[in-house]
Amino acid sequence: MREIKSKNTSRREFLLQCGTAISYAAALTGCRSLGRPAYGDNRKGKLLFTSQGRTAMINSDGSGMRYFDFKVPDQVTWQPGPVLPDGRRMIFLSMEARRDGPGRPFDQYYHHTPTHIWLYDLESEELTEICTRNRLSVFYTPALVLSDQRLLVQVVRDSGGQIFSMNFDGSDARAFTRLGEGLPYGLSLHADGQRVAYHLASPQGYQIWTSDIDGDNRVQVAAHPDYLYFGPAWSPDGSWLVFQACQFKDDPGHDWSDVCVARADGSEFRMLTKGQSMWFGATYGHPENRGGGSNLAGWTRDGQILFPRRLPASKVPWEYQHQRPDVDHFNRDFRPDLARGGTEICRLDPASGALESLTQNNPPVWDFRASESPDGKRIVFCRAETGGVPALFSMDAEGSSPLLLTRGWEERGVDHPRWLQ
């Protein structure tokens, strides 16, 4: 990694220096299942979410909630990863106690935190650690499952971050990216399993690329010195990519962005919204219980786009402090007195530009993390009041019948919901 100098460092530069050691939440969004799971109907309508470092599963009607308790020594937090093609097994990431903290700068020590990748059988409840052979560093995170035998893994060391393709046991590691070129994350696998889309945090900025699953035959989809491009996802038919464009020079906290689409070769690029109308850098909570992570636009089964739209003149209560170094990947002051407005879940037709609000609240709240169920009947999302922690909701596909599912562990908040299938 490049040395952080004593002068103030912008959030964008800090991200480039630190790779994805700071952004596992973003990495999870790229951990998509391959195809349609084949293992029975008892996976339908189930959700995974995280709360206070714990992972839970719940039915979309709020019933059947249970928290996973793996009882593995020294593991402080657990995060759910992708479900394998058989629909029965899934990936988990666990982390030991963080090695950064007072007197230990985040960018220099966080990636010294030992992580562990696990394969979990949802039926037998067997948990097996994977990616242990020929370990390249203490900091591994799963980036994308390529098959039932191979996955892409983020490997972060003092020399920088890199993506490797490896067998589930960790053997036969092959470089997907080259050291020093920047680090891709937010990976998305094409429906045919042969192409990967990702954003590349490089010295030239955040760019959208596609490549073969071995990292070859790269194509630049979007790059511009005035925009930070982020979070690509393939459309259901594989013909389009949706991603975001943040005007980072005017918005160093990356609070807002616009929704874009393009073909995989970069043609037919279109910015579908204007005015930085999508909530990008989600922040929520209060000083004793804060949280956040990047919002991403997502597809519905019929090729529409779900995203959290900013109400006019909205401002988050956590104000980014661009004048000081970002040493904790948050660097914000809690200013609820300056906050106003909120966000609503919207559905956007990329062909016509038609926009439909699915959630409307008075007074406004902050709705985000929307995703459609595999059968297209329900949408799950998070909702937080200004200065409050998020709760988990579901609603029908047209936005009616919103249902509170849970407020999380000890009612301390829910984040990163995703459908099990």
Scored b (16 or more CB within 10 A) or e, 359-393 reads beeeebbbbbbbbbbbeeebbbbbbbbbbbbbbbb
Beta bridge partners of 91: 119
- What is the Cα–Cα distance from 214 to 396, expressed in whole angstroms? 39
The predicted structure's pLDDT at residue 309: 98
Q: Are 274 and 266 in contact (CB under 8 A)?
A: no
The predicted structure's pLDDT at residue 6: 31
Q: Are 267 and 65 in contact (CB under 8 A)?
A: no
The alpha carbon torsion through 211, 213, 214, 215 (nearest 10 deg) reads 20
- What is the Cα–Cα distance from 47 to 381, expressed in whole angstroms? 11
Determine the residue type at 261: V
The predicted structure's pLDDT at residue 102: 82
pLDDT, tens digit, 9 for 90 and up, residues 239-294: 999 999 999 999 999 999 999 999 999 999 999 999 999 999 999 999 999 999 99
- Return the SS3 of 419: strand
The alpha carbon torsion through 334, 306, 188, 329 (nearest 10 deg) reads 0
The predicted structure's pLDDT at residue 42: 55
The predicted structure's pLDDT at residue 329: 80
Of 298, 22, 244, the residue nearest 154 (C-alpha): 22
- What is the Cα–Cα distance from 197 to 135, expressed in whole angstroms? 26
Q: Are 49 and 56 in contact (CB under 8 A)?
A: yes
The predicted structure's pLDDT at residue 23: 42
Spans of the chain, pLDDT less than 70: 1-43
